[in-house]
Structures are given as C-alpha cells and as structure tokens.
Amino acid sequence: MRELTMIDLYAGAGGLTEGLREAGFRSLYANELVPTYAETFMANHEGSVVDARNIREVDACNIRKALGLKQGMLDLIAGGPPCQGFSINAPKRSAEDLRNHLFREFLRFVDEFQPRAVLIENVPGLVSFEQGATLESILRSLSELNYSAEVQILYAPHYGVPQTRWRTIILALRGNNQDALSAYPKPIHHAPMRINFTSRYAGRDIVAIPRSVLLPTYTSIHQAIGDLPVLQNGEIGPKVKPYRTAPTNEFQRALRTGSEGVFNHEAARLSDLNLKRFSHIPQGGNWTDIPIELLPKGMRSARRSDHTKRYGRIRPDGLASTILTKCDPHWGAFIHYEQDRAFTVREAARLQSFPDSYRFTGSRVEQYEQVGNAVPPLLAAAVGRSISYILGSSSTELRRVV
C-alpha cells in the first residue's frame, strides 16, 4: 500500500505531526506563523516544507501544485487553528476575536486539496462557544464541501499521556455517506477524570469513555519522568545529560527510542523565598500548606478552597495537571514530586508524550510555550492510527507501544 501523506496547518512546534508520523503519515507541508515554532518543526521534521507566512497570504492552489498533487490525492489535512478565543478559561470569548475566523482559512485549504480525511483539534470550549454555533458552522461547512464530519472530546490519559488534558477532535471523511464516528480511536487506558465543560452536542454525549473494565490503568507521573536526571534549583549542566536510570517501563523505553541523551533539561532558578515555600509542601499538597507569612500578599486572604493547583506538588503515582505555556508554580501544580524545583522543559515534554529525540529551539521561555501549546503526540498517534485504518492503508509498524 502507498504511503499516507498529510499537511499540517497552524502546526506549532509539531506535536500533532509527530503523532501522525508515528501512525504512518508523512508530512509534506506545514504552515506556522511563529518563527521559533516553525524552527522547531523544521528541526524535527526533515523533508517537510515549512512555511512561516501568514496563512491568509498563502495561495492554497500554488502550494498544492508545488507539492505535485492533484485534487483528491492528499490523504489528510490536519491542524489546530488558534484556540484562545474559544477556551473556557479565556477572559473573553467573542465571535469578534479575529483568531476565530482562521477556521475559514483552514477550510479554504480543504476546498483546494480535497483530501480524503480532515482532522481539526481544539479546546473543549469550542463546543459551548456561541452556544455551539461555531461548531455547527464548521460541521456544516465541511458537509457543504462533501465531507461527513463528527466531533468527539478525547481525554489524553486514555491514550497513554500522563496528563489531564482534553481535546475536541473534529474528524471528516470525504463523501457524505461515510461514517466519521468510526474514525475515532477507542480508549486504551483507564484514568480518573473530571468533566468541567459542556460535553453534549446535538443531543448526545460526545466525550469518549472506556467501554471495558479490563483496560490497563493510566501512565503515572513517576512512570513518565522518573528516569530523568536529578537537578538542583537553577542547575543548567551539560547540554546533553545521561539518563538517571535504565528505562523501567514501556513508556520510558518508547520515548527514549533514538535518543542519545536528555536535551532541554535545565532547572529554572527560583528565589530563596519560593524554596522556603516549597519546603512546606508535601506530595499532593498546595499553597494551603505554606505558612501564611510566606505566602504572596495577594494570596493571604484567599479562601483555602480556591486556587487549589497553585504551588501544587504533584503525587508521583498520579496524573500531571494540564501542561501550560509556562511551568510557574504560582499558577499551577508544577513542583517536582521529590525535587524542590519546577518542571523542566524536557519533563513537561515527557508529560506531553514527546519523544526525547524531539528538540525544542529558542529561549527557555519559548520552549515552554511550544510544549504547552502542543497536541500530545501519543493522542495524535491514536487518532492517526484510527484514520489510517479507515482509509484502508496498512500503516507502518508503530515505534511506540504504550
């Protein structure tokens, strides 16, 4: 069977493409406006044409012809238009946010390439945005382009990712008689979950949940990062560091494949005051364990039931909180379970399921942003395998088995 091909729009640092690559797709082209993100993508996806122009200025027809493709030849268009305007955590969610209309640019490429399948990823808040009108418009637009489209909300730990992250996934198959729901992957792990967003659309529950009680449990934080080198507060060390231990589980073995050592693993230097705060926080604890005189002034009068993730020290046997664009303990549970410091970029990348061979460019601040904004590759790989099966291709044997 021929190799599956894809392009990625709003590609970021390449988490979605990485997972799809592991599912047998070859990236031909990626568009990413942010230069450092595009640089990271290019460094990790050789052979893919990386375009850092504003997508509004890109002629989709010219791109298709430059890739030597006729309409209908491409297997998959994938991507995640900027989601801040849709996020349930955003301070203002408005249809006037110009980022929202970037969906139209994505659909313009779909119309030009006419791929066999389409994958759009976004935040769960997309479902409730404008009372579902935006989601309905996307699905209707895909239908008008002769695609059968469906939506589900997937939970990353169900697919081996050691982090409580939810993503809205829209899948569309060319031909209105196709069953797009069949293209979604089934959960392969059990994991604790809490739904704090709209989970129903068009009268049905769209959250994918495990159907078998015999599935293995989730990948824990310790299983994910326990083999990485110990670091002191502010320690930089050599660019490439040796592993702390031999791999102790399948997740570690899989993510270490092809890696010559640990990159992007440097500890940010935190103040003496923060280190004093950390000394009072046990595993599973948070800011409420800190003596009031050591708390930031703005938090001293806060209710103890509020901000429960702030200054959180994770439990090694649990799941990580959603990895954000910075691992600042003041904003989330990002304190290492046994070391008095915040997560490094590499630890955040492990919790996102990036392989260790994946290197992030730019400043440390930019690297955290790239990791936090990415789609977890293991989640993307699960979706990619399912799409590949539906497209009738014999996918290449996957490198990861988690």
Q: What is the DSSP string of 32-76?
A: --SHHHHHHHHHHSTTSEEE-S-GGG--HHHHHHHTT--TT---E
Closest by Cα among 123, 8, 127, 113 to 59: 113
In a domain, residue 61? The reply is yes
Give the pLDDT of residue 95.
52
Helices 15-22 and 377-390 cross at an angle (nearest 10°) of 50
Give the pLDDT of residue 298.
86
In a domain, residue 138? The reply is yes
Residue from 20, 34, 76, 83 carrying the catalytic annotation? 83
Spatial distance between the Cα atoms of 162 and 181, rounded to a whole number of angstroms: 25
Please give the residue range of the domain that contains residue 201.
4-215+375-390
Q: CA Rg, the chain, in Å?
A: 21
Tell the burial category of 376 from Cβ atoms under 10 Å away from its Cβ (0-12, 13-18, 19+): buried
In a domain, residue 395? The reply is no
Q: Cβ contacts of residue 391 below 8 Å, gap of 6+?
A: 4, 75, 116, 117
In a domain, residue 146? The reply is yes
Spatial distance between the Cα atoms of 313 and 324, rounded to a whole number of angstroms: 15
Q: Residue 240 carries which side chain, given as an amino acid letter?
A: V
* Overall pTM > 0.75: yes
pLDDT block averages, 10 residues each, the chain of length 402: 89 98 97 97 97 96 98 97 49 53 88 98 90 88 95 98 97 92 96 94 93 93 98 96 97 96 96 96 96 92 88 97 94 95 98 98 97 97 96 49 42
Residue 258, SS3 per DSSP: coil
In a domain, residue 340? The reply is no
Give the pLDDT of residue 3.
85
The percent helix, strand, coil of the chain (3-state, each to 5) is 30, 15, 55
Lookup: tokens for 28:
């031909």
Determine whether 83 is an active site residue.
yes
In a domain, residue 135? The reply is yes
User: Strand 76-79 to strand 25-31: parallel, antiparallel, or no bridges (unpaired)?
Assistant: unpaired
In a domain, residue 107? The reply is yes
Give the pLDDT of residue 89.
45
Instruction: Give the total number of structural domains in the chain.
Output: 1
- The half-sphere exposure of 40 on its side-chain side, counting CA atoms within 13 A, is 29
Lookup: tokens for 317:
């046997």
- Tally of CB atoms within 10 A around 228: 20
Which residues on adjacent β-strands are paired with residue 224?
none
User: Strand 76-79 to strand 4-9: parallel, antiparallel, or no bridges (unpaired)?
Assistant: parallel
Give the pLDDT of residue 123.
92
In a domain, residue 252? The reply is no
Q: Cβ contacts of residue 322 below 8 Å, gap of 6+?
A: 163, 164, 165, 332
CATH number, domain of 386, equals: 3.40.50.150
